[in-house]
């Protein structure tokens, strides 16, 4: 009765969609299911012997099963034994729900500047990208540390600056010159505008995604967390479309300016 409160009023041969969120968290961490699947009913993945379909009214992906008298039903076998077997319910070349034909990896750590990613590095693209990034860091630091100053003295100078009386001045520079790009604005307001359209759009997307990701891991029971990760949420969709337009305008202005 907890899963099917209307079971006594509905014939058992019909598709009775219970609300799993009465006991479970509303959504998976994206690392588990490779996406939040905000428009997909839980039973589309977890129930065996069912077929996913798209609801023509809500456009959500729900499930149905063909009831055959005398046939043993596996609909209550909810344990997913293979990571991708349940994904094939929707992710196949002949699917009717508009899903990709292949199982895509979760948005990894390299996706975070643009999207609400995850702390995962499992796919080949991410691994190769991180190797190239690490090689670049090694080359940069090897060049920086070839000077007279050693790494220990450089690190000591940084620690000394943080705990010195100049910390207020350092924070002021970080806020005005790094965050608000004051020096660039003084040089050229046009360049500042072009750079700001791109920089602030990426910065906003990153902060929005990282807050949503950390919230989903630490306080998943909070209702405000999941709309931040749902690309179909009206607010999230609007803000990400807005920042996308900002990036496009910034690139176009930079191209025109030369």
52 membership: H or E segment, kind and range? strand 51-54
Q: Could you tell me the sign of the dihedral formed by the alpha carbons of 52, 101, 225, 214, in that order?
A: positive
pTM: 0.77
pLDDT for residue 203: 95
Q: How far is CA 54 from the centre of its chain?
A: 23
pLDDT for residue 249: 97
Mean pLDDT by 10 residues, the chain (258 residues): 62 63 74 83 80 87 75 68 76 87 88 88 89 91 68 70 78 88 92 95 95 90 89 93 97 92
| Cβ partners under 8 Å of residue 121, min gap 6 | 108, 109, 127, 130
pLDDT for residue 147: 62
Contact predicate 228/239, CB 8 Å: no
Q: H helices of 145-218, where?
A: 151-162, 167-173, 182-187, 189-218
The structural domains of the chain, with segments of one domain joined by +, span 1-104, 107-164, 179-258
pLDDT for residue 81: 60
């Amino acid at each position: 009765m907890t899963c099917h409160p209307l079971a006594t009023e509905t014939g058992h041969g019909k598709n009775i969609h219970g609300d799993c969120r009465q006991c479970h968290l509303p959504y998976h961490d994206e690392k588990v299911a490779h996406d939040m699947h905000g428009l997909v009913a839980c039973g589309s993945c977890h129930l065996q012997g069912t077929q996913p379909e798209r609801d023509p009214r809500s456009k959500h992906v729900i499930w149905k099963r063909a009831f055959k008298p005398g046939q043993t039903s596996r609909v209550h076998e909810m344990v997913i034994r293979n990571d991708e077997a349940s994904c094939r319910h929707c992710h196949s070349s002949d699917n009717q729900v508009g899903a990709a034909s292949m199982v895509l990896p979760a948005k990894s750590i390299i996706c975070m500047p643009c999207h609400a990613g995850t702390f995962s590095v499992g796919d080949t693209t991410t691994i190769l990208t991180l190797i190239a990034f690490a090689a670049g860091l090694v080359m940069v630091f090897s060049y920086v540390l070839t000077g007279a100053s050693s790494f220990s003295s450089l690190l000591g100078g940084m620690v000394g600056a943080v705990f010195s009386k100049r910390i207020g001045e350092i924070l002021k520079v970080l806020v005005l010159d790094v965050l608000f790009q004051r020096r660039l604005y003084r040089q050229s307001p046009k360049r500042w505008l072009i750079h700001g359209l791109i920089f602030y759009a990426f910065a906003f997307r990153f902060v929005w995604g990282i807050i949503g990701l950390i919230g989903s891991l630490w306080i998943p029971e909070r209702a405000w967390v999941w709309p931040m990760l749902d690309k179909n949420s009206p607010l999230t969709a609007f803000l990400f479309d807005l920042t996308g337009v900002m990036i496009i305008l910034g690139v176009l202005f930079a191209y025109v300016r030369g």
